[in-house]
Amino acid sequence: MTVDLHEVATRRLGSTQTGGRPLPAWIPLPALALILVSVVVLGRQPLSDPDTWWHLRAGNYLLQSGHFTGPEPWSSFSSRLWVLHEWLPEVVMSRFAATFGLAGVSWVFCLGLVLVTVSLFVAARREAGPLAATAATAIGLIGMSASLSPRPQIVSFALLTLYTAAWLATARDLRPRWWMVPVTWLWASSHGMWFTGVLVGTAVIVGLALEHRVNVRQAFRLALVPVGCMVAAALTPVGPQLLISPLSVRGYAQFVAEWVAPVITDPAPMATLTMALVVAITWVRSARPTPWHQIAVLVVALGWTLLYGRTVAVGAAMTAPLFAGCLQVLLKQSRPHFARAERIFVFGVAALCMVVAAIVPGPSAPSAAAFPSALNGKLSQLPSGTVMLDAYFLGGWLLWQHPNLDLVIDGRTEVYAVSYVEDYMGALRADRGWDEFVRSSGAKVALVETGSPLATALQQRLSWRSDGSDAGYTLLRAP
């Protein structure tokens, strides 16, 4: 027979004279408030993510055209179907940008960070007391830190944390959480990682079957939830093709830094793996067998953590609730009830942070250190349809700031043929055939990294001249 560790701790340790007494619930809450303030301060910094900008333009495009799928409309070099599977946050961001400027986009980002933080705490609090939950929230945020940016993916991290907590609760009471089905429709309309919620549910159901805690009928009833989630995803405006859209990124993983294997010594994977290690050691040292459903969740989380740099945050979202439960065991304290006063404090501080974020002036321009805004005047003077050989990092910013240009590449890598992206990457390195790529593109201007192999080759071998530099990028013109 298998038993949840935090329930064992509550029964066994709650009767001790000192160790069983939980700390007053208010003691860790100032630390949680400080965490919420910190993420809002982070969210109000100048926007520097290279993909934020094309998401803004995508939201405007959808509102104007009403097309969720179809031929890519902005670059003459694209050759693949464009699927707007992140349309909901894109529309929200674009409307805030139109109404409040970039300060509005920054506020939406703050809202996403606060929701992720509160989701982490609530999920951890269901498994542990306030002290362990606050610690799990802090370390979980570090595990997600490399992917917390003003992009639709932040929706996935908040919802996956809540789905993990919900499925762990289902493992305790065997009750299906049907609310996940309609919420998945919103999730699938927001980001392509919606299917991670389905995988968590599947892992828990398999674990429960291995524990012999459910019969065939019960397992079938629980399985209706992840099946219903997939049906809900297929009913979004994008249609059933949304179910296979996550597979489209596999061919492009080699080109994008966040889709390569993580460096485990970086802060995000190190924090996530540390949580997993504490969980594993606690389970091994426990006198009782660990439930299979918890093992299944941890295995799936480890797989995501080690797969890609971008999916480390997915692993952190799944591991944080388990980590909180194990911390509670290590603290040798019973788990106090998530009282109404505590909930009011948590959600009240979160709401107050968002009010302050709305009052404090936000950024009015992109990060000057990341984007060559000083060249905007010259770029705006280029004739409409001018082909530009652009640095990959700048593609999204140029799409938003200078829609008059025809870019050879941008952050929506999946709309370009794999062979074309390979040729572009070779040109950046000035590999053999780079000059043919430049000539065939028809580009007469380039905005590339200063001193890069391509910039040097254009200047020294094709006699392109510099027309200004800013933020580490040089504007070049053909002779």
| Residue 28 forms part of a structural domain | yes
| Residue 103 forms part of a structural domain | yes
Share of the chain above pLDDT 90, in %: 87
| Residue 68 forms part of a structural domain | no
Cα distances from 38 to residues 117, 136, 268, 349, 411, in angstroms, run 11, 16, 17, 12, 29
What is the DSSP secondary structure assignment for residue 272, as one 8-state letter? H
Q: Same domain, yes or no, for 341 and 389?
A: no
| Residue 215 forms part of a structural domain | yes
- 164, 297 in Cβ contact below 8 A? yes
Q: Same domain, yes or no, for 327 and 286?
A: yes
Number of domains comprising the chain: 2
Cα distances from 115 to residues 181, 215, 354, in angstroms, run 20, 36, 10
Q: Same domain, yes or no, for 315 and 461?
A: no
| Residue 146 forms part of a structural domain | yes
In the predicted structure, residue 384 carries a pLDDT above the cut 90: yes
In the predicted structure, residue 183 carries a pLDDT above the cut 70: yes
Q: Could you tell me where the DSSP H helices lie in 4-149?
A: 5-13, 29-43, 52-65, 87-100, 102-125, 130-144
Instruction: Give residue 460's domain range.
Output: 373-477
- Among 359, 381, 413, which residue terminates a domain? 359
Residue 252 — pLDDT band, cuts 50, 70, 90?
low
| Residue 399 forms part of a structural domain | yes
For 271-293, the pLDDT digits (tens) are 999 999 999 999 999 989 999 99
Q: Provide the pLDDT for residue 335.
A: 79
In the predicted structure, residue 7 carries a pLDDT above the cut 50: no
* Other CB atoms within 10 Å distance of the CB of residue 259: 17
Residue 253 — pLDDT band, cuts 50, 70, 90?
low
Structure tokens at 67: 């097309």
- Among 359, 383, 412, which residue terminates a domain? 359
Q: How far, in Å, CA of 107 to CA of 110, rounded? A: 5
- 129, 26 in Cβ contact below 8 A? no
Radius of gyration of the chain (CA): 25
Q: Same domain, yes or no, for 244 and 207?
A: yes
| Residue 67 forms part of a structural domain | no
The partner residues of 406 in beta bridges, in order of sequence, read 387
Pairing of strands 386-390, 445-449: parallel
Q: Provide the pLDDT for residue 11.
A: 38
Q: Same domain, yes or no, for 319 and 414?
A: no
Q: Same domain, yes or no, for 352 and 388?
A: no
In the predicted structure, residue 466 carries a pLDDT above the cut 60: yes
Q: How far, in Å, CA of 381 to CA of 450, rounded? A: 22
Q: Same domain, yes or no, for 317 and 414?
A: no
Contacts of 17 (CB under 8 A, 6+ apart): none
Q: Same domain, yes or no, for 41 and 164?
A: yes
Q: Same domain, yes or no, for 351 and 407?
A: no
Q: Same domain, yes or no, for 330 and 405?
A: no
Burial class of residue 150, CB neighbours in 10 A (0-12, 13-18, 19+): buried
For 31-88, the pLDDT digits (tens) are 999 999 999 999 999 999 999 999 999 999 999 999 999 999 999 999 999 999 999 9
* Other CB atoms within 10 Å distance of the CB of residue 190: 24
Q: Same domain, yes or no, for 137 and 282?
A: yes
Which residue type is seen at 269? P
| Residue 149 forms part of a structural domain | yes
Q: Same domain, yes or no, for 328 and 433?
A: no
- Among 359, 384, 407, which residue terminates a domain? 359
Residue 100 — pLDDT band, cuts 50, 70, 90?
very high
